[in-house]
Amino acid sequence: MKRHALSTRIWHWINAVSIIVLFMSGLNISNAHPYLYWGDWGFSPTEAWLAVPRFPDWAVIPGRYSLAIARDWHLLFSWVFALGLLGFMISALVNGHFARDLFTRAPEWRWRLFSAEVRRYLRFDFAHTGGKYGSIQKLTYALVVFVLLPLMILTGMAISPGMGAAWPWLLEVTGGRQSARSIHFLASFALLGFTIVHVLLVLLTGPWGQLKGMTTGQVDERGDAAA
């Protein structure tokens, strides 16, 4: 029995590398002007809604402050990120992964069942029946795949001067270039939070079995893990 389809495994690791490179190069870009604004314009620190701390060299790509190099890395892997997500979505629709594993049905959201699942998670009991993921996992993964990741792409396109000029609707739907930049920053740290929780769950539910499942696709002998 395969825990994950080949297309899912390939996308998972490509996406993981892309997110790491994009996040670290994005921190370097943030260092160039560590202030966030709302609307179309913003330059003065007194107009900023948030002053972002300067990120250390060990946390950025290329390991030192270089706006030009960071932008090159960011642009390159934004294409890898976007095309990888598109390919995964197409394959997941074709092979039924979305409908089978991520779509939640009405009975799953009955308060009795939902609250019981929350209580199990608080006890670090991640076992569940009736499918690969529990209802909370389904909701979380759906929000990441269908909301957070596309939002990163949309706001990233709006920030780009060339794309913003070619497609003005990008700026309209995001509330302006500076709003898009703020949303992009917030979404990136929301994605970081999800990644940290995801890694912690992998460590809590048997890292070897989880890595084996996402690398070879085989189910661990101890059963289906939860992360």
What ranges do the domains of the chain cover?
Answer: 6-215
Two tokens, residue 175 = 């509330």
pLDDT band at 103; cut points 50, 70, 90: confident
Two tokens, residue 97 = 């992964």
What confidence score (pLDDT) does residue 130 get? 58
Q: Which of 55-69, 99-113, 208-222 ranks highest by mean pLDDT?
A: 55-69
State how far the Cα of 98 lies from the Cα of 107, in Å rounded to an integer.
Answer: 18
What confidence score (pLDDT) does residue 129 get? 59
Mean model confidence pLDDT for the chain:
89
Q: Do the Cβ atoms of 139 and 104 come closer than 8 Å?
A: yes
pLDDT band at 227; cut points 50, 70, 90: low
Q: Do the Cβ atoms of 135 and 163 come closer than 8 Å?
A: no
State yes or no: pLDDT of 127 exceeds 90: no
pLDDT band at 224; cut points 50, 70, 90: very low
State how far the Cα of 146 lies from the Cα of 148, in Å rounded to an integer.
Answer: 6
Handedness of CA 26, 27, 29, 30 (dihedral sign): positive
Quickly count: other Cβ atoms within 10 Å of residue 136's Cβ: 17
- Give 121-129's long-range contacts (Cβ < 8 A, gap of 24+): 124/204, 126/201, 126/204, 126/205, 126/225, 126/226, 126/227, 127/226, 128/226
pLDDT per residue as tens digits for the range 4-35 = 888 899 999 999 999 999 999 999 999 999 99
Instruction: Look up tokens 């892997």; give the residue.
Output: 77
Percent pLDDT > 90 in the chain is 59
DSSP annotation of 140 reads H
CATH number, domain 6-215 = 1.20.950.20
What is the Cα gyration radius of the chain? 20
State yes or no: pLDDT of 113 exceeds 90: no
Whether the model clears a pTM of 0.75, i.e. scores above it, the answer is: yes
pLDDT per residue as tens digits for the range 146-177 = 999 999 999 999 999 888 788 989 999 999 99
What confidence score (pLDDT) does residue 58 get? 97
What confidence score (pLDDT) does residue 93 get? 92
pLDDT per residue as tens digits for the range 26-64 = 999 999 999 999 999 998 999 999 999 999 999 999 999
